[in-house]
């Protein structure tokens, strides 16, 4: 799904270059490192990263030749990965195939985009709007008011 959403970004894909927040083993304690996903432990993220780079820089996914150095062809499936020839395509297919089909499917996810939460604009005091005010139904004994209720809860 993550891949699909990125592909849905379409023309904005240059903003979707995936990095991964590296969470230290002790948990999140402060600033954490933004790392490039590596090929062994994060093959899918790595492949997506390489594919997006190939697309945004218009370079061969395998040998990194650019469009001035080679006659690049774009992958017919995902329309994102560029290859300078069939040998480079074969060389990288085992990796690229991890994301190729998903990227293609992602471009059809427009309906999903409509279901995403909408941005809520804060008011001039910095508060989010309330949808509804609702009674939280305190169960008050006779003669007890709201302040007493909270005192009781606090013990
Ligand atoms: Zn190449
Ligand atoms: Zn592809």
CA dihedral 120, 124, 125, 130 (to 10 degrees): -40
Predicted pLDDT of residue 84: 94
Neighbour count for residue 58 (Cβ, 10 Å): 13
Residues with CB under 5 A from ligand 2 (ion): 75, 77-78, 81, 100
- What does the alpha-carbon distance between residue 96 and residue 62 come to, in Å, rounded to a whole number? 10
Distance 83 CA to ligand 1 centre (A): 5
- Distance of alpha carbon 4 from alpha carbon 102, whole angstroms: 6
Per DSSP, the three-state class of 153 is: helix
Centre of ligand 1 from the C-alpha of residue 90, in Å: 10
Tens digit of each residue's pLDDT (9 = 90 or more) over 57-115 = 888 999 988 878 889 999 988 888 999 999 999 999 999 999 998 888 776 664 555 55
Residue 35 DSSP label: E
CA distance 25 to 46: 21
Where exactly are the structural domains of the chain?
Answer: 2-119
Region 33-47 average pLDDT = 82
Q: What is the token pair recorded at 87? A: 């040998």
Distance CA 16, CA 49 (A): 9
Question: Average pLDDT in the 115-133 region?
Answer: 56
Neighbours of 77 (CB within 10 A): 13
- What spacing in Å lies between the alpha carbon of 45 and ligand 1's midpoint? 21
Distance CA 82, CA 98 (A): 16
């Amino acid at each position: 799904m993550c891949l699909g959403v990125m592909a849905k970004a379409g023309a904005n894909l240059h903003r979707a270059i995936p990095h991964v927040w590296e969470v230290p083993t002790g948990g999140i304690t402060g600033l954490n490192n933004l790392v490039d996903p590596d090929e062994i432990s994060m093959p899918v993220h790595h492949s997506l990263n390489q594919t997006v780079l190939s697309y945004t820089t218009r370079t061969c996914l395998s040998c990194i030749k650019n469009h001035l150095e080679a006659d690049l062809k774009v992958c017919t499936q995902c329309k994102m990965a560029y290859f300078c020839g069939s040998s480079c395509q074969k060389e990288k297919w085992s990796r690229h195939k991890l994301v190729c089909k998903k990227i293609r499917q992602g471009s059809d996810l427009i309906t999903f985009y409509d279901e995403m939460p909408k941005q809520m604009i804060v008011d001039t005091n910095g508060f989010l709007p309330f949808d509804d005010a609702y009674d939280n139904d305190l169960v008050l004994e006779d003669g007890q008011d709201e302040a007493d209720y909270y005192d009781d809860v606090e013990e």
